[in-house]
């Protein structure tokens, strides 16, 4: 709490910022959504809340959207001492960022694209911080503020990606089981079966939309953002850690599907279904192990040439030392 108090007291012009931010929020509350779809409200925030509560039979990744503000809050808390030490002063050029946010909102409002307006709200909020606390604050908060874009639900546009993830997971897992393990699987799109024999009843699995791995991709990206921001300073290292989360989540999904097919071949279809429905955490475990091992390869070094940090597990200490 002492460090949080220091961070709070280090922020100048809190009153003016609060007034400007409340005014910015008011615009998006009363003029945030012009769409005439299923969610009939003028408020961007009510529109987001309604969307978060919608149920979907498939994995879209939108299920984790409400976690984005909490992830940002966690990062700010863990880096509180570093943020408190930043020199903060008004920076008038940030009005340009605020103007871009306003223009985006006008575009989204006229085109009835509420997601564009949601992005505009974030751009404008970033500009308000820069206007009040300066360019050094913007540089320090740009990476975690990017996480807020994950609060924008875009799963409705991800059908092709969701199917591609399902298809590639099925292709790769089937190829592994056939080529390395000798399991004579038959694949048709995302449907996998093993023909029955006198000694084995066979099985049939459908890699459904709920098994696409989109939720895993989103969750792994969340974790990789926190991990990268806390352990690295060089932007390219942070970006590399975040980007590697996508193929790692796909790889984890392949490992899980292989486990399903192996169990189905060895113990029957019910055993495979048990792993399919009860052991989804395998995707997470494999992806996170890969993430931390990749992090070891990218670890930054101190001026003397030794490792600056040992990121084989998430560090909760702020990173120190120059970027490499």
Q: 154, 183, 211: which is the final residue of a domain? A: 154
Q: Is the same domain home to 215 and 148?
A: no
Q: How many domains does the chain have?
A: 2
137 and 194 share a domain?
no
3-state secondary structure of 204: strand
Residue 102 within a domain:
yes
DSSP code of residue 205: E
Instruction: Output the tens digit of pLDDT for each of the chain's 324 residues.
Output: 788 888 899 999 999 999 999 999 999 999 999 987 778 899 999 999 988 887 665 556 677 788 889 988 888 888 899 999 999 999 999 999 999 999 999 999 999 999 999 999 999 999 999 999 999 999 999 988 988 998 998 876 666 667 788 888 899 999 999 998 888 898 988 889 887 665 667 788 887 666 656 677 777 888 888 888 888 888 889 889 988 988 888 898 899 889 989 988 888 888 888 887 777 777 878 888 999 999 998 886 654 444 554 444 444 444 444 443
For residue 45, which of 121, 147, 111 has the smallest C-alpha distance?
A: 121
**Residue 171 confidence (pLDDT):** 93
146 with 170, same domain: the answer is no
CA distances from 259 to 67, 225, 251 (A): 30, 28, 12
Please, which residues bridge with residue 32 across strands? none
- Residue 313's pLDDT is 42
The answer to whether residue 131 sits within a structural domain is yes
Q: Of 121, 154, 187, which residue sits at a domain end?
A: 154
Q: Is residue 310 part of a domain?
A: no
Q: Rounded to whole angstroms, how far apart are CA atoms 148 and 299?
A: 26
Residue 172 domain flag: yes
SS3 191: strand
Residues 80 and 45 in one domain: yes
As separate numbers, helices (DSSP H) first and strands (DSSP E) second, the chain gives 13, 3
User: Do 150 and 176 belong together in one domain?
Assistant: no
CB neighbour burial string for 236-250, b if at least 16 within 10 angstroms, e if fewer: ebbebbbebbbebbb
User: Do residue 140 and residue 187 come from a single domain?
Assistant: no
Average pLDDT, the chain: 84
Q: Is residue 261 part of a domain?
A: yes
Any domain includes 179: yes
Range(s) of the domain holding residue 179 = 159-297
CA distance 286 to 303: 33
Strand partners, 193: 186, 204
Residues 6+ apart with CB under 8 A from 40: none
pTM higher than the cut 0.95? no
Residues 229 and 99 both lie in one domain: no
Asked if 203 and 150 sit in the same domain, the reply is no
CA-wise closest residue to 210 among 20, 40, 3, 60: 60
């Amino acid at each position: 709490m002492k460090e949080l108090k220091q961070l709070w007291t280090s922020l100048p012009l809190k009153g003016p910022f609060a007034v400007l931010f409340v005014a910015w929020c008011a615009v998006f509350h009363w003029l945030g959504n012009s769409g005439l779809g299923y969610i009939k409200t003028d408020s961007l925030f009510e529109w987001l809340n309604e969307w978060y509560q919608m149920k979907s039979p498939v994995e879209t990744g939108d299920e984790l959207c409400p976690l984005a503000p909490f992830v940002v809050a966690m990062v700010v808390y863990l880096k509180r001492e570093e943020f408190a030490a930043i020199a903060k002063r008004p920076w008038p050029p940030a009005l340009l960022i605020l103007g871009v946010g306003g223009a985006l909102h006008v575009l989204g409002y006229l085109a009835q694209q509420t997601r564009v307006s949601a992005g505009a709200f974030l751009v404008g909020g970033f500009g308000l911080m820069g206007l009040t606390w300066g360019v050094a604050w913007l540089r320090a908060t740009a990476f975690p503020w990017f996480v807020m874009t994950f609060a924008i639900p875009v799963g409705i546009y991800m059908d092709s990606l969701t199917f591609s993830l399902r298809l590639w997971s099925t292709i790769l897992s089937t190829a592994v089981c056939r080529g390395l393990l000798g399991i004579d699987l038959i694949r048709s799109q995302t449907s996998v079966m093993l023909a029955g024999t006198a000694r084995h009843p066979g099985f049939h699995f459908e890699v459904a939309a709920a098994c696409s791995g989109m939720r895993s991709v989103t969750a792994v990206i969340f974790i990789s953002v926190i991990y990268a921001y806390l352990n690295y300073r060089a932007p390219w290292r942070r970006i590399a850690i975040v980007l590697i989360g996508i193929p790692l989540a796909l790889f984890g999904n392949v490992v899980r599907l292989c486990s399903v097919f192996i169990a189905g071949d060895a113990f029957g279809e019910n055993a495979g279904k048990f792993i399919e429905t009860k052991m989804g955490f395998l995707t997470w475990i494999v992806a996170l192990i890969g993430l931390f091992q990749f992090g070891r390869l990218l670890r930054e070094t101190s001026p003397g040439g030794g490792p600056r940090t040992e990121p084989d597990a998430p560090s909760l200490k702020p990173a120190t030392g120059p970027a490499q």
